[in-house]
Every structure is written in C-alpha cells, then in structure tokens.
Amino acid sequence: MEAPFNIRIFHRLLPATVGMLLAITGPAKQASADISAATIRGQIQFDTLGGNAGAQVIVTSLERGFSTRTFSRQDGSYVLMALKPGRYQLKVLAPDGRQTSQEITLQVGQVADVNIVLSESNAGEPLADHAAEGNSAELATYLTPEQMQRLPQVNRNFLNYADLAPGVNVVTDQDGSTRLQSGGQRPDAVNLFIDGVSQKNYVVRGGVAGQDSSRGNVFPESAVAEYKVISQNYKAEFDQVGAAAISVQTKTGGNQFHGEAFYDHTNQDLRAVTPAEQLGGGKRDTEQAQYGVTLSGPIAKDVAHFFMAYERKLNDDYAAVAAGDGSVLPAQYQALLGNVNRPFEEDLFFGKLDWAIDDRNLIEVSFKLRDETETLGIGGQNAQPYALEKGNSEKRLDFKYQYSAEHWVNEARFTYEDANWRQSPASQSAGLLLRRLNGRISDGDLSSLAVLNTGGATNYQDKGQRGPGFQDDLTFSGLQWYGEHVFKLGGKLKQIELGAVERDPYHPQFSFNLNNPGGSPYQVRWATALAGFGDGSASTDLTQVGLYLQDDWAVNRHLSLNLGARWDYEYNPGYLNFVTPTDVSSALRGWSNLSHAGYNIENYLSNGANRAADNNNIAPRLGFAYDLDQDRRHVLFGGYARAYDRNIYDVLQLERTKGSYPSYSVNFQDDPNYDCIAGVDCIAWNPDYINYTPVQLAALTGASLGSSREINLMRNNLRTPYADQFSIGFRNRLGDWNTELAVSHVHSYDGLVGLLGGRNADGSFYAAGSGFGGTFQAVPGYGQLILFDNGVQTKTNSVFLKAEKPYSKDSGWGMTFAYTFTDSEENKSQSFMDSSSYLLEHPDTHTLGWLDTAGVRKHKVVATGTVDLPWDLIFSTKLTLATPETRAGVNCSGGACRFDTFTPPGSDFIFPGQWWGYKQVDIALIKSFDTPRDTRMKLRLDVLNLFDFKNYSTFNSDFASASLGSPLTVLAGPGMTLKLTARLEF
C-alpha cells in the first residue's frame, strides 16, 4: 500500500522546513528547547516614567558557565527559554549602569516568574521577588535531587519515587519487576521522557522500553538530576501517552571535576523470613549487590564538559522446586527438587558531552546502554532445566543542536534507538512433563495433576524495535497581543523497524503418566513452521509523524492559559498491507455458523487495500491558571486534554505469527490408564521419538499440516486508544508549605481486545445452557478464531491532595504528603497483574457491563520526611498506606458464572477502624565523613518495611469459599530488609 497523501507531503515538507530555518538563521544555527527545559519570565521596572526597555537580563549556569541573555521590552517584560534545570546566577543590567543579581534554582519543565524592581535604593541588592511556579495548569510533582539522595529505597530504581505524585502507583510483580500505573489505566499507557526523548515501548508491554517483566532499572539513578511526574494536563509536546508522563533531566558535567563510587549490598541475613519460606522450612539464600561510578568535569572551562555513569546490579534469588502432589518421585528426578538459583545481571551506562560553540550555539550528544540477563520460569513444579533465559537490551543515541536568538530558540534532534526483549529455553532438548492421571478417557473421568516439568521449556520469543528519529522544535516569545505569548511548535518523524518472533512450544513436550508402570509417555505436543505461510515471525517498518503547536499565554497578572494541540499519525504496513490467506478467507466465508453471528466477518478479512490508518488523532490540550492575588500564593487551575497512546505491536503481530507456527499433538497407546483410539492421533510409542525434531514428529500423523492453527484477525479499521482528561484544582503557598487539592476525571477509550469469533450452528455465542463462556467451536479444518477490535474502556474519578515543605539547607528539614482517592471502573475485567488482551467469555465488551477496576486502591497515602542531624547525620523516612486493592475473578457461586470483584480485608494501623491493605514504613540513616585529598565518605543504612508488615499480592479468589480474600504466600512488597551502602565522593 502506498503511503497516503498527507504522510508523503510531510516527508517532503519537513526537510524543506528545516532548510528554510537554516537559511533564516544562517549556517549552523539549528536549535530547540525540549520538554524538560525550564523558562524564566517576568517584568523589570527601573524607570518610574514607564520606559523599561533595554535592560539586559543574563542567566549563567553555576555548574557549566554557559550564559543566555535577552533584553527587556518596552513594558519591561522579558523571557529566557530553553534552560537546563539546575542552579543559575540571574543578573540584571539597566541601561544607566544599575545592576542586581541573585541565585535561582530551576526545576524540570518549570516556568519561573521573576519580577524585578530596580531602584536607586536597591541597586546591587538581591532581587526582591523570588522564582516560583504557581501558574501552571499541570497536575505535576517534582522529584528533587535531595529526595532521591535521601529517601530510603532498596534497588536504586529512580521510578520508585514516582508514587510521591498523587494518582501514580509503583507496581511490583512477585518476581521483583517494577513498572508504573496511573489511575485506572494499565502500565502500557505511561510514557517516560529522558532529556525530552520518548522511551516508549512500541512492541511489548510496560509502557516504557525494557520495563516489561524486568527486575532491572530503566536508567542509572546516578545519572538522574531530577524529574517531574505529570499525572494530567501535560502540554502538547508530550506524545504517545494516555496516563502519567514522567519527564527526566539527566546530569551534565560542569567546570569542576567530580566523581563518586558506591557499593551497596543486602542478603538473606539482612531480611526477614517470607511466608513462603516459613511454609517451606526456612529462609533461602538470596543476595543483591549494586555498584557503580560516575565521573564529570570540564573538557574546556565554560565551553565543553563531559559526564558518564556506570552501574551494575547483581541478584541471586532462589526458588523452591517441589513435586506438585507432594509424593516421592522416581529416583532419576529426585535431584531436581529443592532450592535452585535464579540469577539476574544488569549493566547500565550513560554518557553525555556538551559543547557551547558560542553563546548562541550549543551541541549535546548522549548515549545510553542497558544490558540484562536473567533466569526465570523456575520454581514450583518447574525444575531448573526447564528454565528460560531472558535478555533485555537497549541502546539509544541522542544528538541535539540548539540555537538561541534574543526572542526565539530552535532545537534540532537526531535519535537512534535499538531495544530488544527475548527469552529462550535454557535447555536445548525435549520437554518432559510429569503428570499423574486419574481415571480413563473411556470412563469420562480423566483428570491429571501436574507433578514436575523438566527438559527444554516451551516458550521462545524475540521482540524489539530499532531505527532513527528526527525532531525539530521552535520556541519564540516575540508576540505580545492581549498579554505575553510563548509559542512552541514542532514536528517529529521516526522510522522504526518492529520485529516479533513467537514459537510455542519451541521444543516438543512429552507428557508422562507417573501411574503408568511402563514409564512411556502418553502424549507429545509440538509446533513447527507452516510452509508457505511463515515461521512464527513478523516485522514491519513503522513510520510515525507528530506535529504540535503550544501557546503559553500570560493574559495578565492574574490569568495564564496553556493552549495547545497535537496531531499524531502512524503508518504500519505490517497491519495495513496484510492479506488474509485465501484458504482462511474461503473457510470463514463458507462457514455457515457465522451467517447469524452478530458481526460481519468481512470487517476482519483484508485484501491488502481495504485498511486505512487512523489519521484523525487531533488532541487538544487546554489549561488555565488564575492567580487570585497576583503573587502566586493562591491559584485556581484546571484543564482538559485528549491524549492518544498507541496499539502495541505485540498484539498487532498476532495476525501474522499465530497462524504460521501451529501446534500439533499425538497420543501414544502404551499407557493402560490413557486409552486412545488407534488412528491418525494415536500410535505406538517408540523410544526414538524423544529425539525427533518437529519435522520428524509431523510425519507420525496423517493430519493435515496447518489444520490446527489458530486464526487471529484484526479489524480493518482499528482506532488508536486515547483518554479524555478533565481536572480542576486549587494551589496554595502558605509560608514554606505548598499545598494542592484537585479533582480529576479520566475516561479512556478504544483499548484492544481479542474476542472469540467461533459460533454455534445457529449463530449463538454461548455454550449450550450457559450465559458465560464461548462455545469454542473451531473453524472447520482450522483451530480457534480470535477477532481483535477496539472496545476496552476505563472511567476513573480521583481526588488528589498534596502538601510539601521543600528541604532547604537553612531549615535543615523537609516533608511531603500525598493522598489519593480513586473510584474507577472498567468494561473488561482483568486481574491487576494480568496484561491479557483477551475476552473469551462474552461476545463483546458491551455485554459484560461495568465492574470496579481490578488493581485499584480506593485510598492511598504516601508521606516522607528528612532532617539534618548533628554529627553530619541525615535521617529520612517514608510511610505508605493504602486500602486493599480491588480483585477480579469468576464467580460461579450462584450456579451461573459471571465476572465479579472482591476486596480483601485489611488491618488496623495508626487510625483505629481503618482497614489498610498495604502499609510500609521505611527509614534511612546517612553518616558523612571528611576523608583525605578533598574526598568525602558516606555510609548509609536503609531499612525497608521497618515493622515487617506482610503485604500480600495473591489472595483466595474462590467466590464460593468462606475464605474468599484470605491471603496466600506471595508478598506484594519487601519484608523487613536492611541494605548497607558505602559511597566515596571526590
């Protein structure tokens, strides 16, 4: 399919636009301001007669020595743009020689208002007004360097601090992997921006590249200067996000050489025993070590600098392997039982160079490397040979060229990304599945119990994204019309190759009945590539285009407006040009069961030319802030935003991969407890079969190859998932305290869902006599039919309350408090950790109705505090309280099954009568020592979950049980854990 007209025009216009900017600015004058950059604006008054033009305003980075300058206009207004967050010297020079200066600290994406009155009496004195941001429409929380350096945590993942923002949760799976959730939406809707560059995961889940089922960290914490979590009301610069957006500013080298080295450690002797270990007979050996180094400094003072950070993480976790029925296994399998090692290794590197060619031209180049390996899939009935080896790697290059004129800034950015997620069986041999069969097929009473799995595992996956991107952003402040405007407009073009391989089972899987005295298997299952259709792999060259316009409009001293809109387009030939195989189309068109199915199968059959990309993704971003007293102490704010996310390739690729690597099975006659009828699927056992390849096994049966393959089809007019966000709030500055109260409503639409396409002979969906669960009628000559369509929605109402007393050296202490109330519902029930895209129990999401959103907690409180103590001691603490999260399951207790939800019971803590489902108190104590040669040593003790509260992640979900909601043995967070750290700063 040829690229549509609008994208072909953009391909031609973008280079022309860039060339025009080059011509206007002269040679080598490209530049910009990314979404993490800060702005200073205000008014200067030095002439009582009203002529306030011509004052020079200079801001100089105290770390790097770079300066940016501008001049005040006739009314005294000025704007300084594209400033990297950090410490600055702000200096004002009036035309008559009077001057004043002051230090100012800028945060990520901050718009700081600094109004200056320069008179004869105060010339040379610090500025009377101080920088503050109270006129923002964003629902945002800043995470400062002091918080990241002081607050307790155990795994050096900077995302752990994101839950200080109301409405944002840090999700920890039982294997230790971490990701973010915002409101009632899944982690897929979150996006992370590092130095203004999106880290979106286009293929697999988790929202952020590399964060799907990973125990690792997305970025070295030692390279993070600070970051901002925007729950809602982000501006038009932010793309590919439907929930929270995290904007990170990395560290940069300065004019002084600095470095640090650290090592931290914890093991089984420094933690409490877990419930699972108590049941298993005692504590198992575990160990976690992290170490790293950072170096930064000048290449040429005030001109060029470097920064680099390296971190390594080592985990030795153990899992217990036990027989499923608790019985004694045959001797050859005894050695597989007991504790087995589950190692994890990660290397993280980040490096950055900057070069100020002059006071207008700036170049920055950065490189990120992430490499992980781990062993997973073992424990329970999975023995160590049945493990999976997982690799997770990511490389990113970012080249930025910034040109700053008096009233405008332009930034051109080239990026390249290469992210890969893969897992493969650790053993290259056939899988051996030990079972105990009870009853006989002929008796209609065949049941089985899984006992042990060994040999080669089933699942092989290799998925990734790579390719270049170009982005250009122009910011200018020259327009004054009914107030002051700061305009920003930009475009992005990315060419990304997406790839996915899924082969399951990768190795043949032989099932053995331990009740069979002969010891031979009763079944083998395997899969193989389907000649002429594919081999379980898919790839596509994706083109992404984004355009936006943003106006930050200071209407007057009271009212500020943030008015923006963006348009995003994605051209995916893997989806658009897909042609449904002729035999599949014929089989579906000829299947009489679909004649009255309630849907038209033609909406899912593609001829390669009847699909169109969703090109109507226009997203308005509207916000306001009203300063009641013109001093940013009491500000009413709010906004509306539409935010488009994307359809992830992990779902779209199923149309190509599922049908090209079908699975088969053959039964064997030699088990007296597994009687099968001789024929194409029941043959005599031969010991040589255990070494057969899938191709050789296929020759054992007369079944038509491909007859069992599952058919997955996408709707021909898929839409892009999006969310509509509304909020209103009130922000106050009371002395040293900043408070904020906000009310939010978010409605997300068009999430992808896989529906069962098969129907009964009369066209009905449900199994006979049931109103829950599809008929699972296979397409004649094929397997099941799965149809993917838009349809998943969530509706979330929230109340956010935040209070903060920022830490300062003068006061020596700081505190934060965040409370979130969440009321959320969804029309596709799923467990919190379940990322499944399937709904097989109802014909569509409309017949399911609305249920409370699984995984959401009604109330959550996060509070932190830090204080400087005598003898160079620092103490900090963090308290997390939350009511139990909603759980989803299938309720058949009334005879008829249905989706239902329940809330596990909690326990008292602090407030009598309040049932808390999650409670954790963490503390940290840091001691600093001056050491020789201008170095400083810091020793640190972190204690996570000080009181060893048991916060469970799994519960009894049997609605017919009297113990519904009772906890099982898996914890949602750490037990009491101590971590020791040594750090040398130089």
Q: Which residue shows structure tokens 């424990």?
A: 379
pLDDT confidence tier of residue 880, bands split at 50, 70 and 90: very high
> Which is more confident, 466 or 359?
466
CA 228 to chain centre: 15
Res. 177: pLDDT tops 80: no
Output the DSSP codes for 889-920: EEE-TTSS-EEEEE----EEESEEEEEESEEE
Q: Whole-angstrom Cα distance, residue 636 to residue 137?
A: 9
Beta bridge partners of 549: 489, 565
Report which listed range, 53-62, 111-120, 695-704, 915-924, is most confident: 915-924
Residue owning tokens 């799995």: 453
Alpha-carbon dihedral sign for residues 187, 189, 190, 196:
positive
DSSP assignments along 279-343, one per residue? HHTSPPP-EEEEEEEEEEEEEETTTEEEEEEEEEEEEEEEEEE--TT-PPPPHHHHTT-EEEEEE
Please give the pLDDT value at position 25: 35
* pLDDT value of residue 103: 87
Average pLDDT score over residue span 343-371 = 96
Average pLDDT over residues 834-855: 86
Residue 577 has pLDDT above 80, yes or no: yes
**pLDDT reported for residue 699:** 82
Name the pairing type of β-strands 559-571 and 537-554. Answer: antiparallel
Share of the chain above pLDDT 90, in %: 60
pLDDT of amino acid 174: 61
With a cut of 90, say whether residue 461 has pLDDT above it.
yes
- Please report the pLDDT score of residue 44 as a whole number: 86
Q: How far is the first Cα of the chain from the last one, in angstroms, to the nearest whole number? A: 59
Chain center to CA of 217: 11
**Alpha-carbon span 411 to 473, nearest angstrom:** 5
Place of tokens 């308290």: 879
CA separation (Å) from 379 to 339, 388, 514? 8, 12, 20
Q: What is the pLDDT of residue 121?
A: 61
Question: Which residue is it, tokens 């038209």?
Answer: 600
**Greatest CA span in the chain, whole angstroms?**
106
Per the listing, tokens 């199968």 go with: 601
- CB-based burial label for 428 (10 Å; 0-12, 13-18, 19+): exposed
Q: Which residues 6+ apart lie within 8 Å of 804 measured at CB?
A: 737, 738, 739, 814, 815, 816, 817
pLDDT of residue 876: 98
> Taking a C-beta distance cutoff of 8 angstroms, is the pair 893, 909 a contact?
no
* Torsion sign across C-alpha atoms 229, 233, 236, 238: positive
| pLDDT digits 0-9 by tens, 952-978 | 988 999 999 999 999 988 888 889 999
Is the pLDDT at 130 greater than 60, yes or no? no
Say what the pLDDT of residue 16 is: 38
Structure tokens at 762: 């009369």
pTM score, two decimals? 0.90
Q: Is the pLDDT of residue 365 over 90?
A: yes
How far is the CA of 60 from the CAs of 40, 45, 57, 69, 225, in angstroms?
12, 21, 10, 9, 18
Structure tokens at 379: 């424990």
The secondary structure element, H or E, covering residue 649 is: helix 649-652
* Full DSSP string of 415-455: EEEEEEEEEEESS-S-EEEEEEEES-TTTT--EEEEEEEEE
Cα–Cα distance measured from residue 355 to residue 333, given in angstroms and rounded to the nearest whole number = 63
How does residue 359 score in pLDDT terms, banded at 50, 70 and 90?
confident
Residue 276 CA, distance from chain mean position: 29
Q: Can you give the three-state secondary structure of 744-780, one letter per residue?
A: EEEEEEEEEEEEECCCCCCCCCECCCCCCCECCCCCC
C-alpha of 936 from chain center: 36
User: What pLDDT sits at residue 973?
Assistant: 82
Range with the poorest average pLDDT among 395-399, 436-440, 552-556: 436-440
Cβ neighbours of residue 810 under 8 Å, at least 6 residues apart? none
Q: What is the pLDDT of residue 23?
A: 35
Q: What is the pLDDT of residues 43-89, one digit of tens each?
A: 888 866 666 788 889 889 888 888 888 888 888 888 888 888 888 99
170 confidence band (pLDDT: 50, 70, 90) = confident
Distance, in Å, from the CA atom of 289 to the CA atom of 343, rounded to the nearest integer, reads 12
Mean pLDDT for 343-369 is: 96
Q: What is the mean pLDDT of the chain?
A: 88
The string of pLDDT tens digits covering residues 209-242 is 888 778 889 999 999 999 999 999 899 999 999 9
**pLDDT tens digit sequence for 579-588:** 999 999 999 9
Confidence label for 645 from pLDDT (cuts 50, 70 and 90):
very high
Q: For residues 94 and 48, is the Cβ–Cβ distance under 8 A?
A: no
Residue 443 pLDDT more than 80?
no
User: Which of 111, 164, 171, 160 lies closest to 142 in space, CA to CA?
Assistant: 164
pLDDT tens track for 782-840? 999 999 999 999 999 999 999 999 999 899 999 999 999 999 999 987 654 445 689 99
Question: Which position has the higher pLDDT, 748 or 437?
Answer: 748
